Amino acid sequence: EALQPLLEENSDVCLASVNSSERCVVSGPERSIKAFQKQATEQGFENRIIRTSHAFHSHMMDDMLEEFEQCVRSVDIHPGRIPFISNLSGEKVRNEEISQARYWVDQLRNTVHFAEGIDYLLKEKDSAILIEVGPGTALSSFVRANASKKRDHKVVSTIRHPKKPTNDLAYLLDALGEMWTFGLEVDWDRFIEDEKRRKLSLPTYAFEKVRYPDVL
């Protein structure tokens, strides 16, 4: 809502995505984006340029929409088996929607309503573990910034940010341990099924209890 006046002044710029109540992405030609950025900065909006290969979710994708639709029509789309939230509506998707090629065209061209989808999910579940399976922690930060997030909504990312100097396996195992402490049931038999383990005898030690005075 706060960006609407700027978008009306810059008709060549489109609202690409609404990621949280305070984070949005606009898309369009480079010259128009730079002009938009200048105005946004003057009005006190923190911002930065995102480097991408295309101006996704903007009118600059229009030339390929018809070809993309024909491509989707050639694919057999089966009814969904796992419920998911639509980025178009911010609500649970319906099978009659995803069976239409136009849905996927609109998904490519129109605004991504990620914040509304997360808001819908958080309001539906009083407690939940939200797991980010892609690289980095961008989506996790969007979820944490959502006004509907409660204490019992836990957020875990499974792949480190490229700039985080941590071993990938160690990061993943930390994430798994964090999910387990949040109450996720882990299939440990499957987790270790490819490992070969041996018992190792360790030296014993005395179980001598020693009491220490409380220190204030």
Q: What angle do CA 202, 208, 212 make, to 5 degrees?
A: 130
Query: How many C-beta atoms surround the C-beta of residue 115 within 10 A?
Result: 23
Q: What is the pLDDT of residue 158?
A: 92
Over residues 161-181, the mean pLDDT reads: 91
Q: How confident is the model at residue 198 (pLDDT cuts 50, 70, 90)?
A: confident
Instruction: Please give the structure tokens belonging to residue 144.
Output: 């944490």
| Residue 113 clears pLDDT 90, i.e. is over it | yes
Lowest mean pLDDT among 49-58, 59-68, 145-154, 195-204: 195-204
Query: Once rounded to an integer, what is the mean pLDDT over residues 84-89?
Result: 92
Mean pLDDT, residues 196-207 taken together:
80
Mean pLDDT, the chain, integer: 90
Which pLDDT score is estimated for 215? 62
DSSP string, 73-107: HTS--PPPSS--B-TTTSSB--HHHHTSHHHHHHH
Query: What pLDDT does 178 receive?
Result: 94
Mean pLDDT of 150-161: 91
Which one-letter amino acid corresponds to residue 1?
Answer: E
